[in-house]
Amino acid sequence: MSEQIKKIFEEFSCSGKFVSAKPYGSGHINDTFRVQVDEEVEYILQRLNTGVFKDIPKLMQNKERVCQHIRNKLLRNKISDITRKYITYYYTPKGKPYYKDYDGNYWTLSLFIKGSKSYDVIPNAEIAYQIGSGLGEFENRIADFDATLLIETIPLFHNVPRRLNDLKNAIAKAEPERLEKSKELLEYLARFDQPMLELQRMRDEGILPLRVTHNDTKANNLLLDANDRPLCMIDLDTVMPGLVHYDFGDAIRSACNSAGEETRDENEVFFKMDFFEAFTKGFMEKARNQFTYKEKKTLAQGCVLMTYLQAVRFLTDYLDGDHYYPITYPEHNLQRTKVQVQLLKEIEKHYDHINKFIQQYC
Ligand code: ADP
Ligand code: GN1
Ligand code: MG
């Protein structure tokens, strides 16, 4: 494997001679390797997921444009240490920001952000605050990005009717045993199908503005430095037009789950209210001025929507035979669904408090 990785690495024009590479991080979609060379610099080599992303050249164009925009803004504002605050991509001698191997795999090389780390499970409220602040900063950095320059890398990514249709198709084809095990979860989730159309309706009617959003704001997609200060949002594959509710809601879904989305025991899942308050404070301190009254008024619904959608997506994959999310044990996607459903129950229980807390920023 290392020999193959070395060969691919050498297709890019960058400094240093290959020393070693190891799988890195816990992302679900791309295959990520951290590459050491005979210099102080390190790299991230990724095999992009062509099952999920249909047009990799366009996807890379999106990512480069967004990074360039952020870089220009940092330069204009005379921010220090900027190379740790956006992703630097490397090119092949043909001038492409990706390499296509003989098996049709697409690879990209970027600078490993020095001294960075990310959390799958948030350890305390102070870190939740920093992650909220980092996401708020990211929203500011992309707020004036021209959405017409982006292609939609995954059409209808957070669209409820699309996700329900996928679920329906998976149910129709599911093995009876899997269907039986999903019964209670399906019944619980069905209660949300109608109310969860509300944000989409407000989006369609222009009541909520379309923005350029990240759309995959899981906590481990934000890099922090050694002192847990935010550096950079990564995983820009899904930067597309969307609602702020998607970014805020998905980050809350991820950061306020006491046990994290991969826990084997859903009874350990609680909604961490202190993390929520800290995250929201950090986020609003940075970005509140950007949002309309109506966006802030309805923002709490994003927490419900994104947790519900994630449950629907994991369950769809379980019923479909596990083709989207990588699994390490047979009922992994069923277990992931139980975790999201447990979190959804917790969010329902605390909804009034969540909503009230956000309203102070209106
Ligand atoms: P996926 O789409 O599979 O989630 P990501 O782009 O999020 O892939 O990368 C997976 C993990 O690799 C991240 O969660 C992060 O820990 C790490 N990572 C990715 N890019 C960088 C980078 N440029 N510098 C440091 N770490 C990175
Ligand atoms: C995937 O790539 P990663 O692991 O950061 C997924 C998200 C899900 C998340 C759940 C493109 O994110 O939408 O919320 O898994 N990304 C894509 O863990 O589908
Ligand atoms: Mg990721």
Q: Cα(340) to centroid of ligand 2, in Å?
A: 14
Average pLDDT, the chain: 97
Distance 220 CA to ligand 2 centre (A): 10
Taking residues 62-75, report their average pLDDT. Answer: 97
Task: Label residue 190 by pLDDT band (50, 70, 90).
Answer: very high
Percentage with pLDDT > 90 across the chain:
99
Q: Answer yes or no: is the C-beta of 29 below 6 A from any ligand 1 atom.
A: yes
Q: Does 224 fall in a domain?
A: yes
Give the number of the ligand closest to the Cα of residue 215.
2
pLDDT at residue 314 greater than cutoff 80: yes
- How many whole angstroms from 300 Cα to the centroid of ligand 1? 28
Is the minimum distance from the CB of 25 to ligand 1 under 6 angstroms? yes
Quick one: average pLDDT of 338-342?
99
Using one digit for the tens of pLDDT, what is the confidence trace for 205-244?
999 999 999 999 999 999 999 999 999 999 999 999 999 9
CA distance 280 to 273: 10
Q: How far is CA 314 from CA 15, 28, 172, 186, in A?
A: 41, 12, 16, 12
pLDDT for position 189: 98
Characterize 96-122 residue by residue with b for buried, 16 or more Cβ atoms within 10 angstroms of its Cβ, and e for exposed.
ebbbeeeeebbbbbbbbbeeeebbeeb
Is 218 close to ligand 2, i.e. is its CB under 6 Å away?
yes
Task: Quick: pLDDT tens for 72-83.
Answer: 999 999 999 999
Do 186 and 94 belong to one domain? no
Work out the pLDDT band at 57, boundaries 50, 70, 90: very high
Residue of minimum CA distance from atom 4 in ligand 1:
27
Give yes or no for residue 235 CB within 6 A of ligand 2.
yes
216 C-alpha to ligand 2 centroid (Å): 6
Hey, whose CA ends up nearest to atom 22 of ligand 1?
Answer: 112
Domain end residue (candidates: 111, 133, 165): 111
| pLDDT score for 1 | 72
pLDDT, tens only, 1-49: 789 999 999 999 999 999 999 999 999 999 999 999 999 999 999 999 9
Q: Would you state the structure tokens that stand for residue 217, as one six-digit string?
A: 């704001």
Residue 362: predicted pLDDT? 95
CATH number of the structural domain spanning residue 7: 3.30.200.20
Give me ligand 3 centre to Cα 220, in Å: 6
Domain assignment of residue 181, given as a range = 125-359
197 C-beta closer than 6 A to ligand 2: no
- Ligand 2 atom with minimal separation from the 27 CA: 4
Mapping DSSP to helix (H, G, I), strand (E, B) and coil, where does residue 259 land? coil
Residue 65 and residue 202 in one domain? no
**Which whole number is the average pLDDT over 128-133?**
98
Backbone angles phi, psi at 339, to 5 degrees: -65, -45
Residues 243 and 134 both lie in one domain: yes
Question: 259 and 338: one domain?
Answer: yes
Residue nearest to atom 12 of ligand 2 (CA): 28
Q: Are residues 231 and 324 in the same domain?
A: yes
Q: State the total domains in the chain.
A: 2
Angle between helices 244-255 and 293-320 (to 10 degrees): 60
Percentage above 70 pLDDT, the chain? 100
pLDDT at res. 152: 95
Residue 320 Cβ inside 6 Å of ligand 2? The answer reads no
Say how many Å lie between the CA of residue 184 and the centre of ligand 1: 35
Same domain for 307 and 206: yes
